[in-house]
């Protein structure tokens, strides 16, 4: 496969991942509204919210991993083209840090299961 086709395929994948990420943000908004509802109506129960938060966080970890994959593939394409890769190395490093962050937040959500996880700032908010 030539580098132009590889780049187009990576851009198509990036569009798909970005669309799924937007869906994840909508899920996050829903969870945040449920959290507000739990604060205003403490007797009201939302048993599936924790499972939804874990699903959403897992989805964000997967999406962030895919963005890291795209960064690595883009670097490899530029190596084939004989271009500098300094900026791609920085992008990969940023993607690795983002991936680590998403894994830590997923861990926090899992460890806080069954507790009032709504008091933990940013638990249900997937943006970094």
Q: Structure pTM?
A: 0.84
What would you report as the CA-atom Rg of the chain, rounded to the nearest whole angstrom? 18
Q: Are the CB atoms for 41 and 112 separated by under 8 Å?
A: no
pLDDT score, position 13: 97
How does 9-36 read in b/e, with b if 16+ C-beta sit within 10 Å? Answer: ebeeeeeebeeebeebeebbeebeebbe
Beta strands in the chain (DSSP E): none
Q: Which residues of the chain have pLDDT under 50?
A: 119-124, 127-128
CB atoms within 10 A of CB 126: 23
């Amino acid at each position: 496969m030539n580098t132009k086709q590889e780049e187009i395929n990576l851009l198509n994948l990036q569009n798909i991942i970005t669309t799924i990420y937007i869906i994840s943000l909508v899920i996050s908004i829903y969870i945040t509204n449920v959290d507000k509802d739990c604060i205003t109506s403490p007797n009201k129960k939302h048993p599936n919210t924790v499972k939804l938060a874990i699903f959403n966080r897992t989805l964000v970890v997967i999406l962030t991993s895919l963005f890291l994959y795209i960064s690595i593939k883009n670097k490899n394409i530029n190596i084939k083209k004989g271009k500098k890769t300094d900026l791609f190395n920085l992008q990969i490093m940023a993607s690795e840090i983002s991936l680590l962050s998403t894994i830590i937040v997923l861990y926090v959500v899992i460890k806080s299961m069954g507790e009032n996880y709504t008091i933990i700032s940013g638990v249900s908010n997937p943006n970094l």
